[in-house]
Amino acid sequence: MADSREQTGPDAVPDPQFSQRARKVRFLLLVSFGWLLALLIGAGLDAFASLRRLDAVSQEVSQRFSARNQAVVGIVLSVHNYDDQLERFLLQDQLSTPAPEIPTLDQDIAAMRAALGHFPIDDDPDAQSLIHAIQQQMQDEANTFAAISGWAANVRQQRAYPFIAEQLIPWRTHVLQLSQQISALSARKLALDNLAVAANFQTLESHLMWMVALALMAGVLMSLICGWYILRLERQGRQRYQALARSRLELEGLSARLVEAQEQERRSISRELHDEVGQTLGALLVEVGQLSKLLPGESQAAQTQITHIKSVAENAVKSVRDIALLLRPPMLDDLGLVPALEWQAREISRRSDMEVDVQSDHVSEDLPDEIKVCIYRLVQEALNNAASHARAKHANVALVQDSNRIHVTIADNGSGFDPARSRGMGILGMEERVRRLGGTLTIESAPGKGSTVKAELPLRSASAS
């Protein structure tokens, strides 16, 4: 009997070519995804920077606009102020209010000039010429004032109203017109600036759209490639699985046939040994017995020889019988399952230190032959393991039959083993026999805890197949 506890080696052998290719594909995927990610991040950062730039430009535009407006308002106010002062100076004799001093008027002129200087001129020639016109008028006014300030009181009284009507009012109107022109100009400039901002924004928009489209295309391309690769892997996996399942099925069929062939072979060899060799030897023994009777009593040497021949033949008969029993016990056919199991239990007890009890409950006499053989071999294997490997002192075999199944339990109190790790040929053989009949086999054992082999065999499907 082969050692049933031998370790089976690991069966997963890595394919170096396959793993190398898988590594390459993994690297490519990583690079592509990294590239895609970098593209997306770059596009985002770029868009962010462009937006900030645009924001700065539009803020600058509006700031410039308001500065211009403020400057224009400042100019207009200072001119008006000056004109008012001038008017009051001229009418100081008719009005009761005190006339402004000359230095105050000079200050006003300086304020006018300062307001004019605040105006952002830029490179606009229209604005320059308008500012220039205002400057010109201011100069005129300053010159005129120099003349007026020298007037005597009576001259002043006489010429004040005509001067106001002919000089001061047209001046004012002119400055207002000029300032309106400047305002219109700056409004136009604002519109132009806004247009430029809008154009900038559009550029950014199209740029962004390009980036997004590129990223999207790259993403779609990548997912297409990935999808194709996954499908390919899946197909390969399915093919491998199918091939595996097929070969497993073939293997199962093969091992089932092997078990069957083995049983058949054992049976025929056993019968051959028993019927031919055994019976011939038996007959030989009878003949030798007859021969010894025919010999005259005084031929002592011949009688001794005959006794020797008989003992040799008897030994041969015995070994032939033992071999035949081991191969295919006729008990199974002669007596039925339970007595055969009891015989086996006693047989094991005779040649080992293990005592075996057999209990059976409602086991019918006419079980299908394949079930009987299966149970017999199962018990044989389990008891042999218990006696020789586990060195058990006691084992219990229990057979219970219910309406459609038969339960076999073989429990021993031996050293036990770890069923998850040890799967020897013996256990594989048991599993194979049970699976072939559509049954289940469980082995419960742990080092130091003994072991229990349980099998459950269906009765109907077995007799149907």
Partner 1 sequence: MKKIRILLADDHKLIRSGLRLLMEQQPDLTVIGEANDGRETVTLARSLKPDVVVMDIGMPNLNGIEAALQISQANPEICIVMLSMHSDESYVLRALKAGAKGYLLKDSAESDLIKAVHAVAEGKSFFSPAVSKVLLDDYVRKLRRSGAEDAYDLLTPREREILQLVAEGKSNKDVANLLNLSVYTVETHRSNIMEKLNLRGIPELILFAVRKGIIS
Yes or no: say if 393 and 355 are a contact pair by the CB < 8 Å rule. yes
Burial class (CB in 10 A: 0-12, 13-18, 19+), 406: buried
Instruction: Look at residue 454 and give its three-state secondary structure.
Output: strand
Pick out residues in 255-274 that bind partner 1 (CB under 8 A): 274
C-alpha–C-alpha distance, residues 366 and 349, integer Å:
27
Q: How many residues bind partner 1, per CB under 8 A? A: 32
Out of 235, 346, 362, 449, the residue judged to bind partner 1 by CB under 8 A? 346
Q: Find the shortest distance in angstroms from Cβ 382 to partner 1.
A: 19
Which of residues 122, 126, 250, 334 is near partner 1 by CB under 8 A? Answer: 334
120-149 residues near partner 1, rule: CB under 8 A: none
The answer to whether residue 351 forms part of the interface with partner 1 (CB under 8 A) is no
Closer residue to partner 1 in complex, CB, 106/342: 342
**Position among 42, 44, 170, 289 found at the interface with partner 1 (CB under 8 A):** 289
Q: Does residue 340 belong to the site contacting partner 1 (CB under 8 A)?
A: yes
- Stretch of 30-38, 168-176, 230-238, 282-290 lying at the interface with partner 1 (CB under 8 A): 282-290
Q: How far is the CB of 359 from partner 1 (least distance, A)?
A: 14
Q: Residue 219 interacts with partner 1 (CB under 8 A)?
A: no
C-alpha of 457 from chain center? 42
Minimum Å gap between C-beta 15 and partner 1 is 56
User: Which member of 58, 185, 204, 330 binds partner 1 (CB under 8 A)?
Assistant: 330
Stretch near partner 1 under the rule CB under 8 A, chosen from 197-205, 218-226, 295-303, 327-335: 327-335
Among 152, 293, 296, 300, which residue sits at the site for partner 1 (rule: CB under 8 A)?
A: 293
Q: Which of 46, 260, 355, 432 binds partner 1 (CB under 8 A)?
A: 355
- DSSP reduced 3-state for 440: strand
Q: What is the DSSP letter of 353?
A: S
- What part of residues 190-209 is at the interface with partner 1 (CB under 8 A)? none
Beta bridge partners of 395: 356, 412
| 99 three-state secondary structure | coil
Candidates 12, 13, 147, 286: give the one binding partner 1 (CB under 8 A). Answer: 286
Name all contacts of 126-130 with Cβ < 8 Å and 24+ positions apart.
Answer: 126/185, 127/182, 127/185, 127/186, 130/178, 130/181, 130/182, 130/185
Report CA torsion sign: 257, 261, 262, 267: positive
**DSSP notation for 355-415:** EEEEEEES--S---HHHHHHHHHHHHHHHHIIIIIS--SEEEEEEEE-SSEEEEEEEE-S-
Residue numbers of the site for partner 1 (CB under 8 A)? 274-275, 278-280, 282-283, 285-287, 289-290, 293, 314, 317-318, 321, 330-331, 333-335, 339-340, 342-343, 346-347, 349-350, 355, 393
